[in-house]
């Protein structure tokens, strides 16, 4: 019992030591003008709408949610592979347990293929959505500010 407590405490200490720099290096070192501000200024000067676009847009939130969900599924895959490998090692000639381990590993790999395909599809879709949102100029129909597209090209209303 004492040996298990010692191993768990060493594991917890190593985990803390290895993750501690992550929080230290997470601080922002440079307090000057940000790249976001420079890009927003450039976009506004070029005639693009920058006031309605932010990191909290619907497409960004949905993309983050999908990424988190698929990351959790990836962690579950790793856990299933490790458990299947453990069952395989501990089978010791027991064909029933060996078959169960093989089926578990096969199912986990099939699940991984499905997760990777879902990630690729969601990345493609959300990339296209955000690219369309960020590259459409302000105004209706992709026209510059102050002009409207009535199907004959961009014209200024009243002319």
pTM of the model: 0.47
- pLDDT, position 56: 65
The angle at the Cα of 68, spanning 87 to 113, to the nearest 5 degrees, equals 50
- pLDDT, position 101: 93
* Residue 117 CB partners (closer than 8 Å, separation 6+): none
Q: Average pLDDT for residues 18-46, to the nearest whole number?
A: 62
Q: Mapped to the 3 state alphabet, what secondary structure does 62-100 carry? A: HHHHHHHHHHHHHHHHHHHHHHHHHHHHCCCCCHHHHHH
- 48-52, 117-121, 124-128: range with lowest mean pLDDT: 48-52
pLDDT digits (tens, 9 = 90+) for 73-125: 888 999 999 999 999 999 988 899 999 999 999 999 998 898 888 888 877 88
Percentage of the chain modeled with pLDDT above 70: 58
| Of 40 and 114, the one with more pLDDT | 114
Contact 87, 100 (CB under 8 A): yes
On average, the pLDDT of the chain sits at 75
> Over 50: is that where the pLDDT of 10 sits?
yes
* Residue 84 CB partners (closer than 8 Å, separation 6+): 101, 102, 104, 105, 108
């Amino acid at each position: 019992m004492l040996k298990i407590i010692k191993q768990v405490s060493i594991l917890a200490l190593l985990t803390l030591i290895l993750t501690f720099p992550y929080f230290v290096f997470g601080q922002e070192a440079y307090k000057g003008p940000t790249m976001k501000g420079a890009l927003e200024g450039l976009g506004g000067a070029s005639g693009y709408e920058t006031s309605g676009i932010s990191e909290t847009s619907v497409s960004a939130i949905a993309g983050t949610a999908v990424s988190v969900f698929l990351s959790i599924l990836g962690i579950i895959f790793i856990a299933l592979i490790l458990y299947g490998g453990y069952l395989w090692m501990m089978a010791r000639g027991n064909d029933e347990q060996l078959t169960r381990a093989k089926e578990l590993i096969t199912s986990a790999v099939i699940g991984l293929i499905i997760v990777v395909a879902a990630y690729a599809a969601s990345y493609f879709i959300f990339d296209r959505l955000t690219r369309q949102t960020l590259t459409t100029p302000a105004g209706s129909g992709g026209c510059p500010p102050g002009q409207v597209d009535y199907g004959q090209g961009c014209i200024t209303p009243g002319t």
